[in-house]
Amino acid sequence: MVRTFLHRGAGALLLPVAGVTGVIVGAAGFLAAAVVTAWIPLLCAVGLSLLGIVAWLLAWPAFALLGIRRRKRSAAVLAAVVTIVVAGLAAATVFRPGPHPAAGPPPAGVRFWELPTGSRIAYVHAAASGRARPAPVLFLHGGPGTPGEGLPAVGAPLAADGFEVYAYDQLGAGRSTRLDDVTGYTVARQVADLEAIRVLLGVERIILIGQSWGGSLAAQYLAAYPQHVARVVFTSPGPIWAGAYPDGGGGDPWARMTAGQRQQRDALFSTPRIVAESILQAVNPNAAHALVGDDEADTLMHSIAVLGKDSTRCPGSAPAQVHDNHQGFYVNQLTVENFTHIPDPRPALRRARVPALIMRGECDFVPWPQTYEYRSTLPQATLVYLPHTGHDIAAGQPQPYAALLRAFLRDEPLPLPPYNSARPPS
């Protein structure tokens, strides 16, 4: 009697173990299959098959302990029910697409470069007037993957100074090419695209103005092609080399978010679908891309950017404007990852005798040592500190920003004094 009771108790305990273990093994099989393929139907087939097999193998002895006669059949029914329930839940959560509006037509003035690298790059251009300058100006946006909309406000004055002025959406961002193989989003590819743009423009040298990540990109290009850079401006630049910092550097752009904003951000990232995408991305980025496509992922990143758009400014600043040129999610994720693995560009930059201007805002979230490293690494660099502005200096202090740019590019005395101390301003 006691033995029968113990057997049946063990069987009753083993039944839920069969279901839970089947789910765990099925999920592990789904991820293991993602190592070799990005085809989501096959990943699902492997996962569900393993779930059903393991549940059946464990349910069979459970029903035997319970004294069920048709234990194989009962185990098969239980395995089928668990598999169907899990498949239904996954279909309603992990495999249910989120918002993914298609991009609208580009505004008037947006043109495209077809580069030999395979990139189709959207850009806007302000033609020079007055005395022509030999080197065009190229604005490099931040992110990676966070383009602006149109030319910055200072573009027109620079064009009036005789510069051809361009602003473009980097590969994977805005209206430019999205890659089918997302592992192609690398720092080297961005540098190659920039060099291809220079060649396409038919000029020997270019002027680079890099904002945030755009500053990091300008540094990589300068290290690779110093002979093709006339002047370079680093505005609130990210790290020269992410590999120099345990956390990749760059600081936390969301540190000044309110508690409510953090809750909204976390809610967007904690859905089963996005959690699954994140796990897949660590295993096989192309499988993550197959699960959550560009339109949906870019829409998610755009929502996050809009939510935290004012957290990188000084407290009390006017709200930032919102535009519809969406961010690029996968170029952000994969390029940031790649940035920590590229060779150290600093030895080459120490030999690059190119005039450089670095602008640093009072409320910038990028740690001071990472900004000052530009000043200490580049032999012809000038650092200028601007109070009462955050990461986006062009928006926070538009007049000093424009005055500094124009004076530097025209090789005139700067309207603000240089900051030479290695210690941050108090």
Overall average pLDDT of the 267-287 stretch: 96
Q: Residues 391, 397, 402, 408: is their CA dihedral positive or negative?
A: negative
Q: How confident is the model at residue 64 (pLDDT cuts 50, 70, 90)?
A: confident
| Three-state secondary structure string covering 261-307 | HHHHHHHHHCCHHHHHHHHHHHHCHHHHHHHCCHHHHHHHHHHHHHH
Asked whether the predicted pLDDT for residue 1 surpasses 60, the reply is no
Q: Which residues of 201-228 are buried (b: 16+ CB within 10 A; e: fewer)?
A: eebebbbbbbbbbbbbbbbbbbbbbbeb
153 within 8 A of 398, measured Cβ to Cβ: yes
Residue 291, pLDDT score? 98
Euclidean distance between CA atoms 79 and 67, whole angstroms = 18
Least confident of 37-41, 236-240, 256-260: 256-260
Pairing of strands 165-168, 229-235: unpaired
CB distance 384 to 421 below 8 Å: no
Contact, 307 vs 384, CB < 8 A?
A: no
Q: Looking at the predicted structure, is the pLDDT value of residue 218 above 70? A: yes
Mean per-residue pLDDT, 86-93: 96
Q: How far apart are CA 135 and CA 153, in angstroms?
A: 20
Contact indicator for 286, 38 with CB cutoff of 8 Å: yes
Q: What is the pLDDT of residue 8?
A: 59
413 has a pLDDT exceeding 50: yes
CA 186 vs. chain centroid, Å, equals 11
Beta strand pairing call for 120-126 and 165-168: antiparallel
Mean pLDDT of 138-144: 97
The pLDDT of residue 320 is above 90: no
d(CA 397, CA 371): 18
pLDDT at 5 exceeding the cut of 60: no
Query: Is the previous residue joined to 272 through a cis bond, with omega within 30 degrees of 0?
Result: no
pLDDT digits 0-9 by tens, 302-314: 999 989 888 999 9
Residue 85 has pLDDT above 50, yes or no: yes
Are the CB atoms for 163 and 136 separated by under 8 Å? yes
**93-135 pLDDT per residue, tens:** 999 998 888 777 888 899 999 999 999 999 999 999 988 899 9
| Tokens linked to 45 | 């087939």
* Average pLDDT value for the chain: 93
- Residue 48 CA to chain centroid, in angstroms? 32
What pLDDT is stored for residue 2 in this prediction? 44
Using pLDDT thresholds of 50, 70 and 90, give the confidence band for residue 420.
very high
The domains located in the chain, with CATH, are 2-92 (no CATH), 111-409 (3.40.50.1820)
- pLDDT for 7 equals 54
Mean pLDDT of 223-247: 96
User: Mean of the pLDDT values across residues 366-379?
Assistant: 97
Percent of the residues in the chain that have a pLDDT greater than 90, as a whole number:
76
CA atoms of 259 and 316, how far apart (whole Å): 17
CA distance 402 to 348: 29
> Taking residues 152-159, what's their average pLDDT?
96
